Structure 1
């Protein structure tokens, strides 16, 4: 379907047609002096299209949508799909009917600058990741000769970028002891909070735990599914393949979980109402607990427990690679990126240890000078 719109004093068209091979192409063109001139152009294009090999224009936004539909949307969650929809809207808002072949690296940098003016670094980086994958595909398909997203500088609003919020070691211990002191197997929110502190698992992963996932002999918890709490409940796949993992835990924590085995269900955290506590209910319990302990953390929520778990492991000198695997990250880069602020804090402490260790290179008391006889 063709569309004709007026932009300022001129007219522009957006249409599609099939070439001689039956392949559909998109065409956009601006600068027509009158609407009649634009209509004549569309008619002529449709008339000659079936006789031409000319691939015409490929509107950036429409190419992105087709690429996402073909290569991304079939295998992602609804939440991630919404990100692709939002990215498409941003492309359309900024580039309109611009042909992807016309876009330069300077154009794209200006787009990133405009988008990042009032957004966080993570938001800009995510949008750029989606678009860059699409553009690289366009290069591979010979739609464009160069990747105009290469070496782009991510610009963002620093005030919108939040640091990872977490509890310190003393606060983690106090919260853990407080939760244990008031456990009641009929109300499972406290057990879920403790699970996050002991494992670093995501809320959806914890909600979906069944007794089949817990191995009391080997002291492990298997994460192989998640709970779709944003869409009415039910099991679903984990965030991605790397999220499927086995987490080692201690006997003390497993003994706490055993208290729930009296529930007549395979679902671990089913409460007395035969439901799994909602995100709202668990966060309410968490905030109430922190308030009772006089721990002030504005904006602290359930996912912050995952960050606190990482802080605890780092403080206890656990290797970052082991932490990454425990969290279910696809690669080490994801872990170091998300927890850069935390890692830098503990790096300063490690530097002192390294400094003291290096001093021992010249302080070997067992060294004796060799004497030639």
Structure 2
């Protein structure tokens, strides 16, 4: 009968030790650190020798495969602080991530070691945020916000896995609000007569921002893209403009607000948008009027929608000006009852009217700067039923032509 092979040095071992609750088991094994020196891990608390043996086998396998995670005491707070400081994203995105981590992650999980995070712990956090997560104590966060926080946590923990701080991403096993529950609020949009009525009202009251409302509604540009547009980005002879930059607001705790102009967030957002004759005429007249105020306001490097001093407008104040304009138009229109919409809904209005007029989805997608037409289809599915009915009728007519 052969004797059982003794464990070699470094292969690890199992020992038992007494506790008030009875016998418990510990495992001990060695590994090689990144600098070549040897380290030892001791892990206690296993209720049975079998459980300890299973864990030891798993740990030794990870050592053999080079996927072993060296013991560390890095906390959630410490890791996310370092991760956010080195994040290569737009300043507004980093500020948003930092705010959500500071308000909604660190107070609940910050003191935990990274290896103490589990999917269940994260799921419990998400449920707590939905019921009482508002920083002002007035209730819970929306499913959309909580899902966004989950996205941030998942990204941060992925970095921890890459850095060898943990073996797996606990967020993979968490249960955040579903995509359906976190869907955007139902969009609103105006019909063509409603948009015409609004623009006509703003023309009658001599709204200084009428060119802005016209430009956004006729091109489908985002708010920040329109505010960053310069005269050099527009070719009035060719009737087109180039979207290259965007304006964002960055809010960092203790630093106030910053309004920044930078390149658009994605390559797809950088695009060329063709202009109709009406918009070209409006821009020519507006540029001439700006030049009468100051020649500097009509130079190629001047912001088209800047204030009278040529400075970039604050995006949030710009949106408040829109809200005021809509309220005034709603109260003044007697022929058409205007529904209240957000400034971003002008972009939705532009897309919806084009799609309802049978403009190809790919063309609309390119005007909006979507990554692909699938995004456009998913966003504006509300337009499709009527278009499909029309397509069915047209196909039916083709099949009955010439039939006896």
With normalisation by structure 1, the TM-score equals 0.69
Matching residue within 124, 128, 134 for 1:110:
124
> Is 1:70 aligned to residue 109 of structure 2?
no
Question: How far is 1:191 from its partner?
Answer: 0.7
Query: 161, 166, 182: which is aligned to 2:189?
Result: 166
Query: Does the CA contact (< 8 Å) of 2:119 and 2:175 recur in 1?
Result: no
Counterpart contact for 2:249–2:258, Cα < 8 Å = yes
Q: Does 1:258 align with 2:281?
A: no
Deviation (angstroms), 1:320? 3.7
Task: Mark the runs of 5 or more structure 2 residues left unpaired by the alignment.
Answer: 1-32, 36-68, 132-139, 251-256
Find the aligned partners of 2:160 and 2:308 in 1 and give their Cα distance. 54
**Which of residues 322, 329, 345 is equivalent to 1:304?**
345
In 2, distance between residues paired with 1:94 and 1:252? 55
| Partner residue, 1:290 | 330
Q: Distance in 1 between matches of 2:372 and 2:173?
A: 21
Q: Does 1:348 align with 2:385?
A: yes
- Indicate the residue corresponding to 1:85 in structure 2: 99
Residue 325 and residue 269 in structure 1: after superposition, are their counterparts in 2 closer, same or farther (change >3 A)? same
The answer to whether the 8 A contact 1:189-1:285 is kept is no
Q: Deviations over 1:288-325 (max 9, x none)?
A: 23332264545x33222122222222222334443333
* 1:128 has 2:150 as partner: yes
1:237 aligns with 2:278: no
Q: Secondary structure at the match of 1:149?
A: helix
Query: Residues 275 and 92 from structure 1, CA distance in 2 versus in 1: closer, same or farther, beyond 3 angstroms?
Result: closer
Residue 251 (structure 1) shift: 1.2
- Picking from 109, 117, 125, the partner of 1:95 is 109
Partner of 2:228: 208
Kindly tell me: are residues 209 and 105 of structure 1, through their superposed partners in 2, closer, same or farther at Cα, counting changes over 3 Å? same
Distance 1:80 1:324, change over 3 A: farther
TM-superposed deviation, 1:91: 1.6
- Residues 335 and 77 (structure 1), Cα distance of their counterparts in 2 relative to 1, 3 Å cut: farther
- Indicate if the aligned counterparts of 2:187 and 2:348 stay in contact, CA closer than 8 A: yes
CA drift of 1:141 comes to 3.0
C-alpha contact (below 8 Å) 1:116/1:155 kept by paired residues: no
Following superposition, the deviation at residue 225 of structure 1 comes to: 2.1
Can you list the C-alpha shifts for 1:76-130, whole angstroms capped at 9, x where unaligned?
A: 2246413333224322222242222222222222222222343234312322222
Aligned length: 308
Are 2:305 and 1:269 equivalent residues in the alignment?
yes
Aligned partners of 2:216 and 2:222 also within 8 Å: yes
SS of the residue corresponding to residue 171 of structure 2 reads coil
For the residue of structure 2 that corresponds to 1:246, the secondary structure is: strand
Residue equivalent to 2:55: none
Q: 1:315 aligns with which of 334, 356, 367?
A: 356
Aligned counterparts of 1:361 and 1:151: Cα–Cα separation in 2: 53
SS at 1:188 equivalent: coil
Q: Distance in 1 between matches of 2:71 and 2:223?
A: 48
2:144 touches 2:182 (CA, 8 Å); kept in 1?
A: no
Q: Is the CA contact 1:228–1:234 (under 8 Å) kept in the aligned structure 2?
A: yes
The alignment's C-alpha RMSD in Å is 3.5
Structure 1 unaligned runs (5+)?
Answer: 1-18, 22-52, 368-373
Partner of 1:4 in structure 2? none
TM-score computed with the length of structure 2 as normaliser = 0.64
Secondary structure in structure 2 of the residue aligned to 1:119: coil
Structure 1 residues 152 and 164: alpha-carbon distance in aligned structure 2, compared to 1, 3 A threshold? farther
